[in-house]
Chain A
Amino acid sequence: MNAPVKIPVGSAPLEREEILLAVENVSLSFGGVKAIQDVSFDVRKGEIRAIIGPNGAGKTSMLNCINGFYHPQQGRITFKGRTRPRMRPHEAASQGVARTFQNVALFKGMSTLDNIMVGRTLKMKEPFFWQLWRHGPAMREEIRHRAVVEDIIDFLQIQHIRRTPVGKLPYGLQKRVELARALAMEPDLLLLDEPMAGMNLEEKEDMCRFILDVNNQFGTTIALIEHDMGVVMDLSDRVVVLEYGRKIADGTPAEVKADSRVIDAYLGVAH
């Protein structure tokens, strides 16, 4: 595969040792179904961390736990040094966790611009009273944030679909708008759930480039789930492998690739 070249990250090595997110002994079950069992890993500041594994391994459930959508029965999740036992999703968002979704979860009735502007909601502070008039402080704030959003639109090259209702966009562009919406939140941790699923090669390359650019230019820490092994090996600094809700490997792409349990999980155990 014609994978993009990994650009060396400019940030200082010391800073990269800092742990942004720590997942410790997390277990999650729905009734009798154990989605995640005793999984621990961490995400360091500034890195691209991949979570891989076969279908049903609990990858998406893991992301859901991280941003507070599911509450694990056991274990704890520490983000920026703070542990919250039962965090609501909007609390996660206000702490700086943004994400995209496996099945595109855009606001279908709204334009691309409005979708991305929703990502700015947390940054907009003008109270309800000013919103009533749409002049004065509320309008000035709106314009300020519009400028930020336009920068993101430029960055992801989606100027031409600014006014289009997102429901009418092709799938690849929808994924890109979703990334734009997440970026608008200026997150510290960006969770990407299969950002390249269902894309053709060209779109995948674009998306890889955007992910690397986000990581490089904004220094955003990224945790991503992806099935395309080529992409994962090229993009990520470290990889964690899940199978049937358990962690079976954790390390650099090269280490993981060589791990016999990972090979068994993906290729089946030789008998």
Chain B
Amino acid sequence: MLYREAGQYKTSYAADMAIFPLRQDRIGLAAILAIAFVAIPMTGNQFFLSSVMIPFLVFSLAAVGLNILTGYTGLLSLGTGAFMGVGAYACYKLATAFPDVNILVWILCSGFFAAAIGVIFGLPSLRIKGFYLAVATLAAQFFLQWSFVRIPWLYNYNASGAIEVPTRTLFGLPLTGATASPETRYFALLVIVVALTWIASNLVHGRVGRMWMAVRDMDIAAELMGIRLLHTKLLAFAVSSFFCGVAGACMMFLWYGGGEANDLFNINLSFNILFMVIIGGLGSLIGSFMGAAFISILPTALKFGLPAIGIPIAGATAEHVNLLLVGGLIIFFLIVEPHGLARLWQILKQKLRVWPFPY
């Protein structure tokens, strides 16, 4: 009843090609944005913001990035963590070398460095496909991870071998460093994520997105339509790595604040983000957010949720139960809906449209 398109006529191709052609979808999006920008900062406490929302947003951004590469272009990558690391270290070098420039500028610029590295490691993708390519991206993962530890220049020769995030301000409020409040960090992150997601959505709905998907679905036919495979794949690597790099910089500067950084961008991070993309739905931006919510919030929810409903578990056991549950849920979800949460969401919307009738 509520979700129906009857009476909404499209009189131009522009209206027909809108990303949310249905009025109800646009209202829903506005509501989500209102909650994110107003309701959550007003009602959420510091713990909720810094342990739930900020990780969720960082992972969402990285998942959107990986989805562009794996979901839209069909190139499996296991090097996401390393590309995020490139962003973080680039941002650190830039922020310490040019302390007067606003940190947000550097967070966004660090994406370009990640994009360049991504393109270099994307070069083999012309000749190798599928799992072979996945293993090739592992080369990027391990090589870059090694660089983060072994090249002291990257962390300014700190004795700890880790990034020490300097305090930087935005409009007079500390945005990064130890004194930054979760609210400020959350707002900055939210703006970045919303803006970049909008750009990602523009890309995948236009010519570029169609080229990526054509390469994914049938690369030979795409080439015979005049699409240059190498250009298209490298573009996907660049855009994807840009998103991952920005996510990595955000992770370091707006979430962790440095410290235990030098082992942060490891292979487990890459795998986690791949999970988010697959559980959420390959080739779906909204799926990236759903997957990120699922994978990033689940451990926290289990850790604090189970004791709250009366199942007491100690720290170590919680870890084990957590692993068991996450593993089990991954298999369960893949069996129930291999196309991810996004597909479930679509089916639900379809059912809503025709409700109360089955067809």
Q: Which A residues lie at the B interface, using CB under 8 A?
A: 67, 69, 88-90, 92-94, 98-99, 101, 105-110, 114, 117-119, 121-122, 124, 126, 128, 131-134, 138-139, 142-143, 146-147, 150, 181, 185
Contact = CB atoms under 8 A, between A and B. Distances in A.
B218 A106 contact: yes
A169 B221 CA distance: 18
A90 B227 contact: yes
A88 B220 CA distance: 11
Given A126-B207, A128-B208, A181-B225, A107 B17 contact: no
B283 interface: yes
Contacts of A181: 225
19 contacts: A90-B227, A93-B223, A93-B224, A93-B226, A98-B225, A99-B224, A107-B214, A107-B218, A109-B217, A118-B211, A118-B214, A118-B222, A121-B225, A124-B207, A131-B202, A131-B208, A132-B203, A134-B202, A139-B17
Contacts of B206: 131, 134, 138, 142
Contacts of A88: 223
Nearest to A133: B202
Contacts of A142: 17, 206-207
Contacts of A67: 224
Given A121-B225, A121-B226, A105 B205 contact: no
B225 A118 contact: yes
Contacts of A138: 206-207
B217 A143 contact: no
Contact of B210 (A105, A121, A122, A132): A121
Contacts of A117: 207, 210
Interface string B267-294: 0000000000000000100000000000
A110 B214 contact: yes
Interface of B: 12-14, 17, 19, 199, 201-203, 205-208, 210-211, 213-214, 216-218, 220-229, 235, 283
A126 B220 CA distance: 24
Contacts of B13: 143, 146-147, 150
The 5 closest A-B pairs by CB, nearest first: A93-B226, A134-B202, A107-B217, A105-B221, A122-B226
A142 B222 CA distance: 19
A164 to B, nearest CB: 13
B210 A93 contact: no
A107 B223 CA distance: 12
Contacts of A118: 210-211, 214, 222, 225, 227
A131 B203 contact: yes
Contacts of A147: 13
Contacts of A105: 218, 220-221
A109 B226 contact: no
What does DSSP make chain B's interface, helix, strand, loop or mixed?
A: helix
Contacts of A92: 224
Given A69-B220, A89-B220, A110-B213, 14 more contacts: A69-B223, A90-B225, A106-B217, A107-B217, A107-B221, A109-B213, A110-B210, A118-B210, A122-B225, A131-B202, A133-B202, A139-B17, A143-B17, A146-B17
Name the residue in A105, A107, A108 with the highest tally of chain B Cβ atoms < 10 Å from its Cβ: A107
A89 B214 CA distance: 15
Contacts of B208: 128, 131
B19 to A, nearest CB: 8
A210 B17 CA distance: 28
Nearest to B211: A121
A174 to B, nearest CB: 12
A94 B225 CA distance: 8
A185 B226 contact: yes
Nearest to B229: A90
Name the residue in A69, A89, A142 with the highest tally of chain B Cβ atoms < 10 Å from its Cβ: A89
Contacts of A119: 225
A255 B221 CA distance: 35
Contacts of B222: 107, 118
B248 to A, nearest CB: 21
Contacts of B223: 69, 88-90, 93
B223 to A, nearest CB: 4
A69 B203 CA distance: 29
